[in-house]
Amino acid sequence: MSTFLFDKIIFGPVKSRRLGVSLGINLLPTDSKVCSFDCIYCECGLNPVKRGKKAELPSREKVYADLEIKLKEMADEGRPPDVITFAGNGEPTLHPEFEGIIDDTISLRNEYCPEARIAVLSNASRIGNESVFNALLRVDDNIQKLDSGLEETILLLDRPNYPFSLQKTVDELCRFDGKVIIQTMFVKGEFNGINIDNTTEEDIASWLELLKKIRPQSVMIYTIERDTPFDTLHKVPVEELNRIAARVNAIGLETQVSG
């Protein structure tokens, strides 16, 4: 199925299912995806098999300049964003100047739209890096991925391109001491002849146990909304998402459902 890439550093604003009116920041190339995961459901498509040249990331100075222009424009028009969201064509925390860019964004937000939140949508692959970890502690919505309580499911769904350890990831998520939001994509279907379903009782029960350890401030659960790289993947019905959410609520965690 068709997928898409964000063609600008600053994009939107768009109406986000989870965050409200969101102004996006893409710290990755505008012509290709750069990610430490290669999720089979990613709306940006799959990682390039081979690059003709090294990926070019926008400079910290360019991000600052483009963001200031857009925030000033929105403030002057009386329509500030609800949230400034780091997302885009891959994993935003891979940018080598991520911490400095976060500090710049906080400064610009405080000047032009002090009521707006700053959010980072991340796959949690870089939270072991102290610079990234410290930067994430300074944003309002530190949103980290955890798609199952089973490592084998994560390897199948998210396809990390580094030596992934679920135990290590959970230990690092616990270091946030609750200043983290867990996001989980639920999906069903088939991939390479293998059944895909992270809503099984084994997946959900083990995931709930990890949530008890992490104790996030909230949990976001959602399913496919846009096209994915494979047409053999399917949405999970909202009624099923609501049943999963009820189990999260039962362990004392606030849950947001996006069907």
pLDDT of residue 52: 62
Architecture per CATH, domain 10-258, reads as Alpha-Beta Barrel (3.20)
* CA atoms of 151 and 171, how far apart (whole Å): 14
Burial 97-126 (b: 16+ CB within 10 A, else e): bbbebbebbbebbeebbeebbbbbbbbbbb
Length of the chain: 259
pLDDT of residue 55: 80
pLDDT of residue 66: 98
For each successive 10 residues of the chain (259 residues), what is the average pLDDT?
81 82 95 94 88 83 98 96 96 98 98 97 98 98 98 97 97 98 97 95 98 98 91 95 98 94
pLDDT of residue 51: 64
pLDDT of residue 226: 85
pLDDT of residue 1: 53
pLDDT of residue 2: 55
